[in-house]
């Protein structure tokens, strides 16, 4: 490979092609993510527009300074680099932390295939870091029911099997059962959780759900009801084994920005249901290998790097499919330089490489033509091989007992801050 740009063969990314569309706005929902199309050309996701349209707030320097002052921790690389870029009431959450009032973390995983890809890992590794910094409980919802409802080709047995596999991958990230409860909706449905689902479902009209998610009259009723199920874990009383009878403990939800519609609805109904509104931290999407007009998808193998990929597969995918911001030849690249802002290997490095100085040097060198496309890809390949390899090795030693404990709602999870009023 030289400094030339690379684009995946058309046949490999046929489902991603937008060339037939002359113009459309960007579409970001929990199930579809597409950049705008202008004059037949797909555009990157415009995150500033999402902040404005969703009514969220930017994660700015002042907020990060306060976080560091209160916690004594340097902000995570995803915060420092603007990958986690938007929030709802994170400042109020920091108020609770400063006042030593309890809160918890809530995130989720929708298992639509047998293995996670690296895009799934980002909010989960970030969530693990937040849990370590704040020392708070975490609940992880496995939305196997959602995948059954929204992926017509999947069977109930398949989605449940995928959720079983997901627990092992989550355990490999270091989550411990004394602080973490991982539950499948298909297993945990009932009791306090189901009572809250019912309360939420009666509080949201079809018109509100339709306006938020774009449902139509031909959608299965399970899809229309599902938002109630994803909202309910944001109510602490859904987990009486952890929080007892309390209803006054809010949660912080780290998630990709496409999940925000669920929690806009949640925030509308929480006070009516005598619970605290959740706070949110939103991340950008890890782009597909073909570029930043859409996110990485588990259903399209050529767009994704999976957590069970071998080093050779990782190398092949980056070299063959990863969109480059370089020039058409190494000679031109040395003269004109490249654009790291659209270069997928560089973008992946901003998500996974810890060293800020190296990130800046790679970007500057690429713009000047001093760093070639092949060199950028080689660095990306090495970083991803190391990250995925480490998780794979840890997954090998995850015991069946650890998985059982993480999924046990009655495993003892005691936090002094929660037990005090």
pLDDT per position as a tens digit, 317-354: 999 999 999 988 899 999 898 999 999 999 999 999 99
User: Residue 255 pLDDT > 70, yes or no?
Assistant: yes
Residue 295 has a CB neighbour count (10 Å cut-off) of 21
Pairing between strand 291-295 and 287-288?
Answer: antiparallel
User: Residue 226 pLDDT > 90, yes or no?
Assistant: yes
Give the mean model confidence (pLDDT) for residues 212-230. Answer: 93
What does the block give as tokens for 27? 């579409």
Enter the pTM of the model. Answer: 0.89
pLDDT per position as a tens digit, 124-147: 999 999 999 999 999 999 999 999
287 DSSP β-pair partners? 295
Q: Which of 15-19, 108-112, 284-288 has the lowest mean pLDDT?
A: 15-19
How much is the CA Rg of the chain, to the nearest whole Å?
A: 22
Contact assessment for residue 289 and residue 58, using Cβ atoms and an 8 Å cutoff: no
Give the mean model confidence (pLDDT) for residues 352-381. Answer: 96
Question: 276: which DSSP letter?
Answer: P
In angstroms, the CA 209 to CA 230 distance is 13
pLDDT per position as a tens digit, 144-178: 999 999 988 999 999 999 888 889 999 999 999 99
Average pLDDT, whole number, for the chain? 89
In angstroms, the CA 28 to CA 258 distance is 6
Q: Which of 156-170, 253-267, 382-396 has the lowest mean pLDDT?
A: 156-170
In angstroms, the CA 386 to CA 398 distance is 19
User: Residue 78 pLDDT > 70, yes or no?
Assistant: yes
Q: Which of 259-273, 321-335, 353-367 has the lowest mean pLDDT?
A: 321-335
Give the mean model confidence (pLDDT) for residues 75-103. Answer: 96
Contact assessment for residue 277 and residue 235, using Cβ atoms and an 8 Å cutoff: no
> Angle 206-213/260-269 helices, nearest 10 degrees?
150
pLDDT at 74: 96
Percent pLDDT > 70 in the chain is: 92
Contact assessment for residue 67 and residue 94, using Cβ atoms and an 8 Å cutoff: yes
pLDDT per position as a tens digit, 54-70: 999 999 999 999 999 99
Give the mean model confidence (pLDDT) for residues 246-267. Answer: 95
User: Residue 42 pLDDT > 90, yes or no?
Assistant: no
User: Residue 210 pLDDT > 60, yes or no?
Assistant: yes
Give the mean model confidence (pLDDT) for residues 247-259. Answer: 95
Total residues belonging to the chain? 421
pLDDT at 3: 43
Residue 223 has a CB neighbour count (10 Å cut-off) of 15
**Between the CA of residue 225 and those of 113, 161, 235, 287, 352, what are the distances in Å?**
23, 23, 17, 30, 36
What does the block give as tokens for 26? 């960007």
Confidence of residue 256 (pLDDT cuts 50, 70, 90): very high
User: Residue 222 pLDDT > 80, yes or no?
Assistant: yes
Short-list 186, 189, 163, CA closest to 110: 163
Instruction: Report phi then psi at 33, rounded to 5.
Output: -135, 115
In angstroms, the CA 403 to CA 400 distance is 5
User: Residue 205 pLDDT > 90, yes or no?
Assistant: yes
Question: 17: which DSSP letter?
Answer: -
296 DSSP β-pair partners? none
Give the mean model confidence (pLDDT) for residues 20-40. Answer: 74
In angstroms, the CA 354 to CA 159 distance is 34
**Between the CA of residue 234 and those of 207, 261, 329, 393, 404, what are the distances in Å?**
22, 14, 52, 33, 23
pLDDT at 414: 76
Percent pLDDT > 90 in the chain is: 71
């Amino acid at each position: 490979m030289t400094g030339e740009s690379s684009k995946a063969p058309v046949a490999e990314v046929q489902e991603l092609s937008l060339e037939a569309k002359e113009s459309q706005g960007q579409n970001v929902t929990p199930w579809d993510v597409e950049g705008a199309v202008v004059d037949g050309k797909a555009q990157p996701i415009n995150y500033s527009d999402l902040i404005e349209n969703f009514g969220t707030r930017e994660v700015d320097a002042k907020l990060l300074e306060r976080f560091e002052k209160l916690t004594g921790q340097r902000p995570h690389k995803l915060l420092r680099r603007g990958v986690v870029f938007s929030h709802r009431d994170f400042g109020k959450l920091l108020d609770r932390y400063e006042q030593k009032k309890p809160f918890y973390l809530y995130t989720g995983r929708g298992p639509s295939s047998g293995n996670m890809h690296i895009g799934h890992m980002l909010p989960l590794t970030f969530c693990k870091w937040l849990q370590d910094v704040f020392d708070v409980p975490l609940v992880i919802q496995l939305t196997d029911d959602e995948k059954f409802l929204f992926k017509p080709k999947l069977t109930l047995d398949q989605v449940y099997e995928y959720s079983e596999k997901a627990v092992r991958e989550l355990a490999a990230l270091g989550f411990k059962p004394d602080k973490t409860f991982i539950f499948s909706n298909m297993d945990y449905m009932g009791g306090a959780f189901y009572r809250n689902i019912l309360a939420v479902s009666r509080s949201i009209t079809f018109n509100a759900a339709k306006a938020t998610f774009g449902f139509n009259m031909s959608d299965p009723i399970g899809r229309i009801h599902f938002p109630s199920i994803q909202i309910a874990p944001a109510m602490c009383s859904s987990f009486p084994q952890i929080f007892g009878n309390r209803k006054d403990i809010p949660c912080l939800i780290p998630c990709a920005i496409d999940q925000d519609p669920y929690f806009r609805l949640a925030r509308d109904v929480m006070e009516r249901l005598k619970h605290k509104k959740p706070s949110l931290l939103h991340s950008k999407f890890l782009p597909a290998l073909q570029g930043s007009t859409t996110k990485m998808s588990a259903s399209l193998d050529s767009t994704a790097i999976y957590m069970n990929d071998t080093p050779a597969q990782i190398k092949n995918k980056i070299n063959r499919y990863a969109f480059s911001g370089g020039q058409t030849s190494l000679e031109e690249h040395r003269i004109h330089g490249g654009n790291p802002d659209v270069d997928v290997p560089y973008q992946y490095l901003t998500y996974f490489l810890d060293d800020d100085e190296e990130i800046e040097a790679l970007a500057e060198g690429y713009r000047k033509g001093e760093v070639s496309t092949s060199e950028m890809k080689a660095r990306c390949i090495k970083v991803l091989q190391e990250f995925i390899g480490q998780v794979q090795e840890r997954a090998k030693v995850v015991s069946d007992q650890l998985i059982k404990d993480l999924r046990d709602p009655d495993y003892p999870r005691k936090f002094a801050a929660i037990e005090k009023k």
